[in-house]
Amino acid sequence: MNSSSMQSGCDLNAEAVDALRPRKREAVVRLGVMDDYGTVVIPPLLAQFAKSHPEIRVEIETGLTATMPARLGEAYDLVIAMHPEGHGDGELLRREQAVWAAAMSYSVRPHDTLPVALYPPGCLFRQWAADALDAAGMPWRLAFVSRTLAAVEAIAAQGLAITVVKARTLPSRLHILSDGLPPLPGADIRLHRARNLSRPAALLADHLQLGISQPASHILP
């Protein structure tokens, strides 16, 4: 048998042994989160987590979080959701302030009917905007409705409507409106964990809790 045949046989044996060796299963953690946090806050934290825990795969779903906590265990292992300030279950991560926002060139004109871009029913921002404008006696109309931050932001950035955002996740194309508009409530951002949480999910939960709640964190807005 020549040397090339021997080498080929060794390679085949090595491949066979490797195929029989038990492989480490990749753990999966399912995370539900608000659209703006999924765009701005969560990605750098997940990048950090992936470096220290490459064996854990995180599946993230963004959207309206009003109903997500009820599906813990079934659809999600962890949910980061927004609640009215001082209310809600779960661990308090941080407090946010809701603000009015619009295109840089937009200005509120007295007595004009305000065009507003908001999210579907069930979103706290939609409820708060309607309640605040109605209580102030300001005429307004629902100009645009979408489930995604990008779509709502795009309409507002073109000067077609005002909207409501969190002050700390204010899109760069918008600015905060204050003059002439009623104040909006504050919000609690809370972390919800499923019962009987797996160790990988608990590791991610602790990482998110630390990263979001630290006010001096250098990677968060």
Q: 102-147 pLDDT, tens per residue?
A: 999 898 888 889 999 999 988 999 999 999 999 999 999 999 999 8
**For residues 190 and 84, is the Cβ–Cβ distance under 8 A?**
no
**pLDDT band of 23, cuts 50, 70, 90:** very low
CATH of 27-95+187-213, one of 3.50.50.60, 3.40.50.720, 3.90.226.10, 3.40.190.10: 3.40.190.10
Average pLDDT on 171-189 reads 92
DSSP-derived secondary structure letter, 34 = -
CATH homologous superfamily for the domain 97-184: Periplasmic binding protein-like II (3.40.190.10)
CATH 3.40.190.10 location in the chain: 27-95+187-213, 97-184
Q: Which residue from 190, 189, 184 is spatially nearest to 98, judged by alpha carbons?
A: 184
pTM of the model: 0.80
- Cβ 166 vs Cβ 101: under 8 Å: no
Q: What angle do CA 80, 84, 90 make, to 5 degrees?
A: 40
Greater confidence (6 vs 111) lies with: 111
Q: How far apart are CA 56 and CA 186, in angstroms?
A: 34
**pLDDT tens, residue by residue, 75-96:** 999 999 999 998 888 999 999 9
Neighbour count for residue 53 (Cβ, 10 Å): 16
Could you give the C-alpha distances from 67 to 64, 104, 114, in angstroms and in order? 7, 34, 29
Would you say residue 7 has pLDDT above 70?
A: no
